[in-house]
Structure 1
Amino acid sequence: MPARRALVSRATQTLADAGVASPEADAAGLLAHVLGTTRAALVLVDEVDEERATAYAALVARRAAREPLQHLTGTAAFRHVELAVGPGVFVPRPETELLAGWAVERATALPAPVVVDLCTGSGAIAAAVKHEVPHAAVHAVELSPEAHAYAERNLAGRDVDLRLGDAFEAFDDLLGSVDVVVCNPPYVPLEAWESVAVEARDHDPHLALFSGDDGLDAIRVLARRAADLLRPDGVLGVEHADVQGESVPAVLSGTGRWVDVRDHRDLAGRARFATARLAR
């Protein structure tokens, strides 16, 4: 039987040669998936039987072809929840956990918060908010039927109001009553097609990625719709590309309906999401 260390070492080199951004972590993660254990527990494994070694090699080959790791394992970790993901739904990124954390903080400070997650995708932000703020009334909407099906799985049993429809037309029944609107909209400019990572460009739904020539089309509509949904002094949080740290706040300020507009950086120091408060 092949040794675990040798298997992971070869897989790491294969993934590195293929341009995978985190070859060592992905190699270990795939083996843990095949063995039905955790990455931390791999140190307890000395050898891998031939059947599982073969299955592992097949997954490594698919990852080397730049199929997303989360599509191969079928899951993605997001803050304190685990999500089902796969073809047809946007794979949540670690950076979005910061936006979700902001929403959690805003909701926690209120006695009976009403939170709306627009463009929910897999339901990641909605699931995180409901998990960490159980007393919140959480509502979520997704346009894509394929992504909505994943959100249904991930939000099942969580008492979240999930709807299928256009994020910028949904929730007429909540107009003027929402405390927190949070959104991870499409924001990649069409002209940036070639610069998008292969895993996202070839496997994430384009509906969740691209938004007009400058990437701001969805955010312009969001700036208006969120203002209609929120109560006075309600707050909005929206993710954006790292090059949009000035343009997104400008969109919000330009409507004349938002105050306290500010941008927030991620752990790498890159502009990541903007927040604003609805003017009275």
Structure 2
Amino acid sequence: MNVLLAEVAQATQRLADAGVPSPRFDAEELAAFVHGVGRGELHRVADADFDARYWEAVARREAREPLQHITGRAFFRYLELQVGPGVFVPRPETESVVGWAIDAVRAMDVVEPLIVDLCTGSGAIALALAQEVPRSRVHAVELDEGAYGWARKNVEGSRVTLHRGDALTAVPELDGQVDLVISNPPYIPLTEWEYVAPEARDHDPQLALFSGEDGLDVIRGLERAAHRLLRPGGIVVVEHADTQGGQVPWVFAEDRGWADAADHPDLNNRPRFTTARREVP
């Protein structure tokens, strides 16, 4: 075993002891980042080329700093995004939410679908939709100044139009025209602060995490925003915590102008997002 692989094995144990959920992956990803190679090429790094900065990176991850803040990048579907302090790091579970939305848009009889991503954060959702639905017109909205700065970097050169503003009142010029509204909003109840993983609680923006006593305050506001933006028959897709399954569809009730409200599971078969259709008069 060469020096780097031996160090990766030691780092894996250190990260596991620190409670990092994916110690082997993170140890390898940090090694690949420091040495400028792919994870599958670590065995090619010569002993003489071992970089002691690896242990600096491991120590940061051991302290539960997000892996993506250390490497400065996050992977989401087919994208590589710039991320760091001040922006919510996109999670793998959101990829299935976006996958459902992409299929729904492709099934629409619309030549150039109009899409709005509310609470865009890094811009991950908006960029994925723009990339995978090539003729779509995508708008993304972010309120937080720090997150907006990261989104601006990521959407540069793309077809995404970025707006800084409140998701609940933004882009009124699009009212009644939008085919799909999608959001990964804050949804953690304030009462669960102590149970949130350190990577999120101590490093993600609080604005992107917490939303009232039951976690649904922003989602209730998004319900009205989506109804305002969508055309009749348009679709809303909202991510939520798996513990909120069964609650969020009731926010999109028939007496508020919605039809077909339903929860959908993530890859672990846990309720992860709600969809609804704006009722056609």
- For 1:199, the aligned partner's letter is E
Deviations 1:95-116 (A, max 9, x none): 0111111221122233210000
The Cα shift of 1:16 comes to 0.3
Task: Give CA deviations for 1:91-148 in whole Å, capped at 9, x if unaligned.
Answer: 0000011111122112223321000000000000000001111210000010011101
Q: What corresponds to 1:77 in structure 2?
A: 75
CA distances 1:188-231 after superposition (whole Å, capped 9, x unpaired): 00000011001000000000000000000000011111011000
> Secondary structure at 2:61's aligned position in 1?
helix
User: Is 1:232 aligned with 2:214?
Assistant: no
**1:29 equivalenced with 2:33 (yes/no):** no
Tell me the distance in 2 between the aligned counterparts of 1:229 and 1:107: 16
- Pairing of 1:49-68 with structure 2 (within 5 A): 49-50=49-50, 52=51, 54-68=52-66
Contact 1:5 1:46 in 2 (8 A): no
Mean Cα displacement is larger for which, 247-256 or 67-76?
247-256
Deviation at 1:49, TM superposition (A): 2.7
Aligned partner of 2:12 in structure 1 is: 12
8 A contact 1:107–1:180 mirrored in 2: yes
Task: Give the distance between the partners of 1:217 and 1:61, measured in 2 at CA.
Answer: 37
Alignment-mate amino acid for residue 119 of structure 1? C
Residue 169 of structure 1 corresponds to: 169
Counterpart-to-counterpart distance in 2, 1:44 and 1:184 = 40
Query: What are the Cα deviations for residues 25-51 of structure 1, in whole angstroms up to 9, with x where unaligned?
Result: 00000000001111122233353635x
Give the corresponding residue for 1:87: 85
Match of 1:101 in 2: 99
- Closer, same or farther: CA 254–197 of 1 in aligned 2, 3 Å: farther
Q: Which residue of 1 aligns with 2:3?
A: 3
Q: Secondary structure at the match of 2:213?
A: coil
Q: In structure 2, what residue type is equivalent to 1:65? A: A
Once residues 127 and 47 of structure 2 are traced to their aligned partners in structure 1, the CA distance between those partners, rounded to angstroms, is 38
CA distance in 2, matches of 1:106, 1:158: 22
Aligned pair count reads: 278
**Over residues 1-31 of structure 1, what are the superposed CA-to-partner deviations in whole Å (9 max), with x where a residue is unaligned?**
x612211000000000000000000000000
Letter in 1 for 2:4: R
- SS of match in other structure, 2:236: strand
Q: CA deviation at 1:250?
A: 1.2
| TM-score, normalised relative to structure 2 | 0.96
CA distance in 1, matches of 2:102, 2:48: 42
Give how far 1:172 is off. 0.4
Greater alpha carbon shift after TM alignment, 113-122 vs 250-259 = 250-259
Q: Which residue of 1 aligns with 2:128?
A: 128
Q: In structure 1, what is the equivalent of residue 152 of structure 2? A: 152
Percent of pairs with identical residues: 56
CA 1:235–1:265 in structure 2 vs 1: closer, same or farther (change >3 Å)? same
Unpaired stretches in structure 1, ≥5 consecutive residues: none
Letter in 1 for 2:8: V
Taking only aligned residues, the RMSD between alpha carbons, in angstroms, comes to 1.3
Moved over 3 A (4+): none
Distance change in 2, residues 1:40/1:271 (3 Å): same
Which runs of structure 2 are paired with 1:256-275 in the superposition (5 Å)? Answer: 256-275=256-275
- In structure 2, the residue corresponding to 1:102 is in which secondary structure? helix
Q: Which position in structure 2 is the counterpart of 1:213?
A: 213
Instruction: State whether residues 78 and 124 of structure 1, in contact with CA within 8 Å, keep that contact through their aligned partners in structure 2.
Output: yes
| Structure 2 alignment gaps of length 5 or more | none
Q: What SS does structure 2 have at the residue aligned with 1:212? A: coil
Mark the CA change 1:276 to 1:59 in structure 2 (over 3 Å): closer, same or farther: same
Deviates more, 1:266-275 or 1:63-72: 266-275
